[in-house]
Amino acid sequence: MNKKHNFSAGPCILPQEVFEKSAQAILDFNGIGLSLLEISHRSKDFVAVMDEARAIVKRLMNLGDDYEVLYLGSGASMQFAMVPYNLMKVGGKAAYLDTGTWAAGAIKEAKKLGTVDVVGSSKEENYSFIPKNYTVGSEYDYFHCTSNNTIYGTQMKSFPEVNTLMVCDMSSDIFSRQLDFSKFDLIYAGAQKNMGPAGVTLVVIKKEILGKTGRENMLSMLDYSQHISKESMYNTPPVFPIYASLLTLQHLENNGGIAAAEKRNEAKAKLLYDEIDSNPLFETFCVKEDRSLMNVSFNITDESKKEEFDNAWKAAGISGLNGHRSLGGYRASLYNALPIESVQVLVDVMKSIR
Ligand code: PLP
């Protein structure tokens, strides 16, 4: 197959090895004469997958036994509801940072369960920067932020010191850069960017934060404690996305871990931003200091050259470069699995339009 240079924002490119190994598992899993898709999730072969998928996350994030790792069905959007349901005290309030469409989605859901104070927002400036001047005190049950704004191409370069629990939606930059993950009490991420196929969401929770809301008769499927007590098998888990996520994380671990991925991601982003900054035909939507290493959202400054550019990148075998429908323009997603050679192809096309 002649593979395209896949800049899609998600679902998106994954390591080739993941496709090959998961195709084999679909045909004959572990040589047991059965497909991964036709065995019980309680069989020893799948339980081993789940155990390792949970363990590898802690290894990569350098987290100890005070954290639990869950793989939950449905998307990151489900966490917009589960986070307040599990962490907001009855009659309590939470602080949210509004940095884009997904952050706003999380805010909308949390407001249905309690009081939300938006402590910082860049909405009025079309989410072109990350707000920085705010404080979060102990009157809040937790603080929620979005580490990377997939649509607008902004990324939090540092995280605030807060006097409450720290919750982060890392859907679009999980495992892309080194962070002190122990700073966070709860991290969640839909798998379909740096981890695997859509259909599963990673949730990493510090155990001691649960069970403090005063909420009674919690709905079991929305209760993190239930999922923890059943080791992420409260109900039938999405076996294929979990297996493919494990393969992706093993690939990451075998290729230098997060530290090496971060270096590769920095080099890719530098290559593209350097071209945008030196080529008057292109500009980013956001301020320089908050530019994302994962999603480069940019525009063309001369509309009369748009058709030529569009034809050229398509002819070069590039796919998935159109911007999100709410922002327009272009978006080059540089997730872990995208090779720098693909970025070079895009940069060469951009140079050719000058
Ligand atoms: N949060 C962020 C940062 C995202 O980029 C997305 C989707 O792109 C979501 C949440 C929603 O994810 P899902 O479609 O898995 O619900």
Q: What is the pLDDT along the chain (354 residues), one digit of tens a residue?
A: 889 999 999 999 999 999 999 999 999 999 999 999 999 999 999 999 999 999 999 999 999 999 999 999 989 999 999 999 999 999 999 999 999 999 999 999 999 999 999 999 999 999 999 999 999 999 999 999 999 999 999 999 999 999 999 999 999 999 999 999 999 999 999 999 999 999 999 999 999 999 999 999 999 999 999 999 999 999 999 999 999 999 999 999 999 999 999 999 999 999 999 999 999 999 999 999 999 999 999 999 999 999 999 999 999 999 999 999 989 999 999 999 999 999 999 999 999 997
- Residue with CA at minimum distance from ligand 1 atom 12: 76
* Residue owning tokens 């707000």: 131
User: How far does residue 176's CA lie from ligand 1's centre (Å)?
Assistant: 16
Measure Cα distances from 68 to 96, 120, 132, 227, 230 in Å. Answer: 23, 30, 30, 10, 12
> Of all atoms in ligand 1, which is nearest to the CA of residue 100?
3
* Ordered structural domains, the chain, with CATH: 16-254 (3.40.640.10), 257-353 (3.90.1150.10)
- The answer on whether 102 is annotated among ligand-binding residues is yes
Question: What confidence score (pLDDT) does residue 285 get?
Answer: 95
What's the gap in Å between 99 CA and the centre of ligand 1? 13
The residue whose C-alpha atom lies closest to atom 9 belonging to ligand 1 is 76
- What's the whole-model pTM score? 0.98
Q: Residue 98: beta bridge partners?
A: 121
CA 72, distance to chain mean position in Å, is: 14
> Any binding-site annotation on 150?
yes
The answer to whether the beta carbons of residues 124 and 193 sit under 8 Å apart is no
Instruction: Give me the helices (H) in the chain, please.
Output: 16-27, 44-61, 76-87, 101-111, 224-229, 239-254, 257-278, 306-315, 340-353
Atom of ligand 1 nearest to the CA of 149: 3
Q: Which residues line ligand 1 (CB under 6 A)?
A: 10, 75-77, 102, 146, 150, 169, 171-172, 190
Catalytic positions are 102, 169, 193
